[in-house]
Structure 1
Amino acid sequence: MIPCFRLPALPLAHRVGAALMTGAVLMSPMAARATDGYFLDGIGGKAKGAGGVALAQPEDALAIASNPATATEIGHRLDVGVELFIPNRSATITGNAAGLSGTYSGNGANPFVLPDFAYVRPVSDKVSVGIAIYGNGGMNTVYRRNPFSAFGAQGDAGVDLKQIFITPTAAVKVLPGQSLGISPIVVVQAFRAYGIQPFSGYSSDPSHFTNLGTSWSTGAGVRLGYFGHIGRAIRIGGFYETKVKAGHFGKYSGLFSNQGSFDVPAAWGGGIAVTPVRAVTLALDVKRIEYSGVSSVGNPIGLLFTGTPFGATGGPGFGWRDITAIKTGVTWRATPAWTFRAGYSHSGNPVPTNQTLLNILAPGVVAHHITGGATWASRKGVEVTGYVVVAPKNHVYGDGSIPQAFGGGESNIALGETSVGASVGIKF
């Protein structure tokens, strides 16, 4: 037990970035990608190089993972990609009378290799179908020096959340230049937590709180999309993704709110792409992610002090708020063989300054993404794309983040990310 201080059950975690898979039949959940909170900032090599834009600018088969209606614009193609992802996560605790003060690195696992896959095929002049397999989100921290060892925590501390999305897609041209699409969503997710033993006494189910290995769950939802042309130079697109209702993490029913519940937040957004001259396209996407609508993510830690323990119905979570992500990109078709891209995206910070203590385990606070990429296309329909994404380290400094019952002081968290990737596309 921890002397002198009444400490609540330390929460769970996430993965800073998003777990991806190898293909339609081979799913190998890994780590995370550059992120909007813990959603991907872009899906597919071409979108990644252009700041994540894809809602109105479909350039490869993975565009259906952002907007299913774009399937009618893609033609018959296969895209497979791989990314090397290096997150840099850390935490600093200051002024804590319970012995937690110090600087801690969450980089016990690095780097990560992450694949993705998509295939699209027209079945008539108006209808196209496809499938995409990718990691929509995830978080990982591994603290070799346990931030909670002063309370008797043993071994490494950290969490690992992976979310694998499988999205079969159908789209139809309802009018000339206007398409609607739908993707049933199947999610397979896994979670584990370790090294937070001292806090299990503040759980509604202490035997299902930490160090229990990986727990799995599945869920389902729907993504709807629209894509349309306005004249020759302007394209618009939008999507709405329902909350994905998922089963409970049974091994961690004492950690997550509502006896281990962990749904995927609803999201929606729109985009526009303008081609002012033939070789150049400018694109803008705006996306809203409703993290507060999932209790295990959005509920604040303060609920613990109203008598609601971890794992209980309506129990505490990370305290994340909803965010808006704005993405901009430029694409220059320099020659028939070469296309170049650059972009910038800005994500809102989901972690309030008074919620940073629990988010030592889930510092999903990256705000800025600077991107670049290029594609070489052969005359036989083979494309090779490369890209780089740099997300400078963003700090969130705690303000009233550690209650006196925990020893007081402040918890400060930070995350930066670097990734390089390549993909191969085949047009049939």
Structure 2
Amino acid sequence: MKLQATRALIAVVAAAPTFAWATNGYFSNGYGVASQGMAGVGIGFPQDALAAAANPAGIAFVGNRIDGGISLFLPDRGANVSGNGYGANGDYDGNNRSIFVLPEFGVTYQFLPNVYAGLALYANGGLDTGYAHNPYQAFGATGSAGVDLEQMFLSPTIAYKLLDRHAFGIGLNVAFQRFTASGLQPFTGMSVAPGNVTDQGADTSVGVGVHLGYTGEITPTLTVGVTWASKIHGRFDKYKGLFADGGSFDIPENYGLGFSWKVTPAWTVAADFQRIMYGNVNSIANPLANLFAGNALGSSDGPGFGWRNTNVIKIGTSYDVSSHLTLRAGYSHSSQPVASTETFLNILAPGVVQDQATLGATWKPDAKTSFGLFYGHAFKNTVNGDSSIPAAFGGGNANVHLSEDVVGVSLGKQF
């Protein structure tokens, strides 16, 4: 089994550079095909070896198992510019690349009485845009424009079960980030490091954070969960002239709570609440107005993307049709991270979808093997600009939009 787990981990790592994700801002909506079939619910409803990604305490309730999955992610993103005095008006398609691969892997094992260990590898989030017709061309940009942000987490986790009904977990989130930007030449003259704003190739960053959680079976039918993950520090030196604080790009702190309720032995309803603290990361949260208040790009209080803290509510249900077949469905809604006054730079990062619906199923040919699948659709959403293009760029508005489709499959094995 150790050899099989090692081979699976190598395979996932090899595929990792192809992922991107942008559902709740740029965070993934869920981890594991079972969870994603229920719109990402998982804080109080652990289902497989990816449970640690949502709540490290959850690994104490899934048994000894190994799970691997892969999803195909198809976003549709773009922008419209209107009322601009420099001739930037028009529609812009940000889909230079339209299909992304999202791998994930998890293993859990009880190695002492009441003590459980887990290891999960998964895409935490990301954003990608690619505009063959550069939206900033009217301001002097050349070539195509876009950004590519990728985040992969490796999460070793330990959980302790108390009285067979309560579990406390702690894990490390080892975060790998990769970033590229191109076609942003008009902004180089507004930076403290003009040579590190655009077209510097890929830069990477590795950081570590802490993830804490609790899962408890309050009654035979009601389970609750609480989780918190720390901010993870990151930096892109090649883009120290783009991001505030000299290229700093931290992954924000987030926390949440959830519950699951067995309405009947076969039917479960579950829900999560999550809060993502984008507003506490300067490179993400600082408004573009900071630039015109004397704070150049890349400075300690330089402009960012103007994102706000985001609340996410997820609700899902699962139904055991038989001992072989489980069906799932879910719906999630998030508050809007992108302010209407900040859409000019968010042409590059239109993480504006708010509502997602999902369907999923698991087939168990025997007691130890499971095959899962899910489909999710994030409904198209547009944020229309509100005087979002500064007068220095000819005024007017940028209107950004995004929709998403994702389909995934998984294989799980108990041992």
TM-score when normalising by structure 2: 0.96
Q: Assess if the C-alpha contact under 8 Å between 1:120 and 1:129 holds in 2.
A: yes
Letter aligned with residue 357 of structure 1: F
Matched, 1:397 2:387: no
Quote the offset at 1:30 in angstroms. 1.7
Matched, 1:116 2:91: no
For residues 177-326 of structure 1, the aligned pairs below 5 Å read: 177-246=165-234, 248-326=235-313
TM-score when normalising by structure 1: 0.93
2:117 to 106, 126, 129: 129
For residues 26-425 of structure 1, the aligned pairs below 5 Å read: 26=14, 28-33=16-21, 35-246=23-234, 248-425=235-412
Letter aligned with residue 52 of structure 2: I
Quote the offset at 1:380 in angstroms. 4.7
Q: Assess if the C-alpha contact under 8 Å between 2:267 and 2:320 holds in 1.
A: yes
- 1:426 maps to which residue? 413
Q: Assess if the C-alpha contact under 8 Å between 1:34 and 1:389 holds in 2.
A: no
For residue 263 of structure 2, give the secondary structure of its aligned residue in structure 1: strand
Q: Assess if the C-alpha contact under 8 Å between 2:12 and 2:104 holds in 1.
A: no
- 1:16 maps to which residue? none
- 1:17 maps to which residue? none
For residue 292 of structure 1, give the secondary structure of its aligned residue in structure 2: helix
Q: Assess if the C-alpha contact under 8 Å between 1:31 and 1:139 holds in 2.
A: no
The whole-number CA distance in structure 2 between the counterparts of 1:174 and 1:117 is 27
The whole-number CA distance in structure 2 between the counterparts of 1:342 and 1:231 is 24
What is the total number of aligned residue pairs between the two structures?
407
Deviations 1:115-156 (A, max 9, x none): 111111111230100111111111100001111111221111
For residue 112 of structure 2, give the secondary structure of its aligned residue in structure 1: coil
Deviations 1:136-190 (A, max 9, x none): 1111000011111112211110001111111100000133311100111111111
Letter aligned with residue 182 of structure 1: I
Q: Assess if the C-alpha contact under 8 Å between 2:85 and 2:395 holds in 1.
A: yes
Quote the offset at 1:385 in angstroms. 0.3
- 1:15 maps to which residue? none
Structure 1, 287-296 or 170-179: larger mean CA deviation: 170-179
The whole-number CA distance in structure 2 between the counterparts of 1:241 and 1:184 is 9
The whole-number CA distance in structure 1 between the counterparts of 2:17 and 2:281 is 22
Letter aligned with residue 188 of structure 1: F
Distance 1:130 1:24, change over 3 A: farther
- 1:14 maps to which residue? none
- 2:5 maps to which residue? none
Quote the offset at 1:98 in angstroms. 1.1
Structure 1: state its 5+ residue gaps: 1-20
Q: Assess if the C-alpha contact under 8 Å between 1:274 and 1:283 holds in 2.
A: yes
* Moved beyond 3 Å, runs of 4+: 21-27
Letter aligned with residue 99 of structure 1: G
Identity of aligned residues (%): 45
The two structures, once aligned, show a CA RMSD in angstroms of: 1.2
The whole-number CA distance in structure 2 between the counterparts of 1:391 and 1:249 is 30
For residue 143 of structure 1, give the secondary structure of its aligned residue in structure 2: coil
Q: Assess if the C-alpha contact under 8 Å between 2:22 and 2:127 holds in 1.
A: no
Quote the offset at 1:23 in angstroms. 5.2
